[in-house]
Structure 1
Amino acid sequence: MSIYLHFRAVAESEIRDDHTWLAAFMSEAWENDDAEYTAGIAHSINKGWDAVNDLYAAADALYTDADEPWNLPIYGGRPVPHSADADPSDPPLMLLEPSGVSQAARFLTTVSFDELWNVVDARFSALGRTKQEHLEHHRNLQEFYGQAASAGHAVVKAVWA
Structure 2
Amino acid sequence: MSEYLRLRAVPAPALRNSPTWLERLFASTAGTALPQAGRHCEDALDKCRPDQECVYAGASPHGPDVVLGGRPVFRADRHAPPLLVLTAARTRGVAGFLTTADFDELWDTARETLLPRYGGESAETEARRVFAEAHRELTAFYAHTAEHGDAVVKWPAEA
1:122, CA displacement in angstroms? Answer: 2.6
Instruction: Please provide the CA RMSD for this pair.
Output: 2.5
Distance 1:102 1:3 in 2: 25
**1:22 is matched by which residue type in structure 2?**
L
Change (3 A) 1:22 1:34: closer
Match of 2:37 in 1: none
Q: Deviations over 1:18-77 (max 9, x none)?
A: 01111122222xxx15989xx97521225x23x1111101325xxxxxxx42131101x2
The yes-or-no answer on 1:74 pairing with 2:68 is: yes
Mean Cα displacement is larger for which, 121-130 or 150-159? Answer: 121-130
**1:81 is matched by which residue type in structure 2?**
F
1:87, CA displacement in angstroms? Answer: 5.3
Match of 2:46 in 1: 44
Match of 2:82 in 1: 92
Match of 1:125 in 2: 115
Match of 1:64 in 2: none
Match of 1:15 in 2: 15
Q: Percent identity?
A: 32
Normalising by structure 1, we get a TM-score of 0.76
Number of equivalent positions:
142
**2:63 is matched by which residue type in structure 1?**
W
The yes-or-no answer on 1:139 pairing with 2:139 is: no
Normalising by structure 2, we get a TM-score of 0.77
- Which structure ranks higher in relative contact order (CA pairs < 8 Å, sequence separation ≥ 6)? 1
Unpaired runs of 5+ residues, structure 1, are 61-67
Q: Which has the higher helix share?
A: 1
Name the SS for the 1:27 alignment partner: coil
- Following TM superposition, the consecutive aligned residue runs of length 4 or more in structure 1 with deviations greater than 6 angstroms are none
1:106, CA displacement in angstroms? Answer: 0.6
